[in-house]
C-alpha cells in the first residue's frame, strides 16, 4: 500500500508539471524571454526555497545543512540542467506541448536514470540493474513510438493546420532542441545524487523522510536559474524587451504575474512530489532507482493528454492516433514493469 501511495504522490506532482505550460498561454504582451524569466523566479527560486525550509533540523539553518557536503556540485549540475530547462522551453515552442515534452522527457528519463546508477557502480546486466535497464528501454520504446506519431502528424497536417496548432512549428529544429534538452535535463538527477550527504544530515537531524531531500532541490534549481536568467537577460537586451516588465498596463502586469506564479508552483510540484513519493518507495530499491524514469514517463503521458485537449493533434489521421495510443500504452507498461518483474522473480 505504501508503494501505491508513493506512486500516486509522484503522479500528482507529474500532472502539475505537465499542466504548468498551460497558464503560460494566458500571458499577454510579453516576449518569450520575459515570461520565461518571470516564471523561473517562482519555479526555481521562491517555491523551492519554501520547500527547503520544511527540512531544517531543529536548532540548525539551511546554510549549516548545505555544509554537509555536495552543495556546490548540486549547483553545478543545476547550471547544466538549466541549459536543458532553457532548451526544453524552446522545444515546446517548435514542437508543441505533446511532442516537445515527449522527446525531451524521454531522453531525460533514460540518462537521468542510468547515469546515477552507473556512478554508484550498478551492474546494468544482472539483477536489479538489469531490471532498471530493461525498464528504461521500454520507456524509450514508448517515446520513440510517440515521436514517430509526431512525424506522421507533421506529414499528414497541412501547413495551415500545423501553424494553427503550434504557431512556430519546426520539426527538424524542434527535434534537435528537444534531444539537447533531454540530455542536459538529466543533470537534475545527478544534482540530486550529488547532494546525498545533505539529505543524510537532514535525516540525522530529525527531519521527516518526506522533506529531507527538498534542500537539495533548491540547490539544483538555483544553478538552473542562474543559467536561464543569464540567457533571458541577454535576450532582453538584444531584443529591447526590458520594457515588458514595466510598459504594460497594471491589469496585464497582474495577469502575467499571477499566471507565471501558477506555472511556477505547478512546475515545482513534480520535484516536491518526487521527493515526498520516494519516501514511500524505500521498501523497493528497484522502484526507488526507477523513480526518476517513472516521473518522466508520467510527464510524457500527461503532456500528451494536454496536447489532445489543446487540439495539437486535431486533423491527423486515425492511423496516427493509433500510433500515439500505442506509444502511450507502452509508457504505461514501463511504469508497471519493475513491479511486475519483481513479482515473477
Angle at CA 219, nearest 5°, toward 244 and 297? 85
Angle at 24 between CA 20 and CA 27, to 5 degrees: 150
For CA atoms 308, 90, 184, 242, the dihedral sign is negative
Q: What is the CA radius of gyration of the chain?
A: 20
- Cβ 115 vs Cβ 189: under 8 Å: yes
List Cα–Cα distances, 294 to 35, 241, 299, in angstroms: 29, 39, 9
pLDDT digits (tens, 9 = 90+) for 223-260: 999 999 999 999 999 999 998 988 778 889 999 999 99
| DSSP-based three-state secondary structure for 121 | coil
Task: Please report the pLDDT score of residue 91 as a whole number.
Answer: 73
Instruction: Please give the mean pLDDT across all residues of the chain.
Output: 85
pLDDT in tens, 44-77: 999 999 999 999 998 889 999 999 989 999 999 9
Cα gap 345→107, rounded to integer Å: 29
Q: Judge contact between 300 and 102, C-beta under 8 A.
A: yes
How many CB atoms lie under 10 A from the CB of residue 294?
26
Q: Measure the CA–CA gap between 239 and 235, rounded to whole angstroms.
A: 6
Task: Check residue 265 and give its pLDDT.
Answer: 96
Say what the pLDDT of residue 159 is.
Answer: 58
* pLDDT for res 340: 72
In the chain, where does DSSP find H-type helix? 2-19, 32-40, 47-52, 62-66, 71-119, 127-156, 159-165, 171-185, 187-194, 196-204, 214-239, 244-247, 250-278, 285-309, 318-344
Cell of 102: 515527449
What is the four-CA torsion angle of 66, 67, 69, 73, rounded to 10 degrees? 60
> CA–CA separation, 194 vs 187, rounded Å?
10
pLDDT at res. 266: 95
Residue numbers in the chain where pLDDT is lower than 70 = 89, 92, 96-102, 154-171, 342-345
Amino acid at each position: 500500500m505504501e508503494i501505491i501511495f508513493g506512486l500516486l504522490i509522484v503522479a500528482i506532482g507529474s500532472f502539475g508539471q505537465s499542466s504548468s505550460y498551460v497558464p503560460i498561454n494566458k500571458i499577454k504582451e510579453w516576449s518569450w524571454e520575459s515570461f520565461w524569466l518571470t516564471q523561473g523566479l517562482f519555479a526555481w527560486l521562491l517555491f523551492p526555497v519554501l520547500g527547503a525550509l520544511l527540512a531544517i533540523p531543529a536548532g540548525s539553518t539551511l546554510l549549516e545543512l548545505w555544509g554537509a557536503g555536495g552543495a556546490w556540485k548540486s549547483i553545478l549540475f543545476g547550471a547544466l540542467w538549466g541549459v536543458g530547462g532553457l532548451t526544453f522551453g524552446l522545444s515546446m515552442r517548435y514542437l508543441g506541448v505533446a511532442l516537445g515534452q515527449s522527446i525531451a522527457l524521454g531522453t531525460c528519463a533514460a540518462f537521468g536514470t542510468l547515469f546515477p546508477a552507473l556512478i554508484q557502480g550498478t551492474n546494468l546486466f544482472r539483477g536489479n540493474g538489469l531490471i532498471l535497464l530493461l525498464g528504461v528501454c521500454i520507456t524509450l520504446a514508448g517515446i520513440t513510438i510517440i515521436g514517430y506519431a509526431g512525424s506522421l502528424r507533421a506529414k499528414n497536417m497541412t501547413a495551415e493546420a500545423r501553424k494553427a496548432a503550434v504557431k512556430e512549428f519546426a520539426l527538424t529544429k524542434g527535434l534537435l532542441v528537444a534531444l539537447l534538452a533531454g540530455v542536459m535535463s538529466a543533470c537534475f538527477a545527478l544534482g540530486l545524487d550529488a547532494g546525498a550527504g545533505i539529505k543524510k544530515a537532514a535525516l540525522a537531524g530529525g527531519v521527516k523522510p518526506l522533506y529531507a531531500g527538498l534542500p537539495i532541490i533548491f540547490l539544483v534549481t538555483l544553478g538552473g536559474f542562474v543559467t536561464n536568467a543569464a540567457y533571458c537577460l541577454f535576450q532582453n537586451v538584444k531584443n529591447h524587451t526590458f520594457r515588458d516588465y514595466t510598459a504594460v498596463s497594471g491589469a496585464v502586469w497582474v495577469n502575467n504575474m499571477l499566471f507565471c506564479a501558477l506555472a511556477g508552483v505547478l512546475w515545482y510540484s513534480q520535484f516536491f512530489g518526487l521527493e515526498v513519493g520516494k519516501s514511500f518507495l524505500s521498501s523497493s530499491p528497484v522502484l526507488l532507482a526507477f523513480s526518476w524514469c517513472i516521473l518522466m514517463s508520467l510527464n510524457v503521458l500527461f503532456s500528451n493528454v494536454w496536447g489532445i485537449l489543446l487540439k495539437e493533434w486535431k486533423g491527423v489521421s486515425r492511423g496516427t492516433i493509433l500510433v500515439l495510443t500505442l506509444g502511450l500504452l507502452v509508457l504505461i507498461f514501463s511504469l508497471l514493469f519493475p513491479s511486475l518483474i519483481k513479482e515473477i522473480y
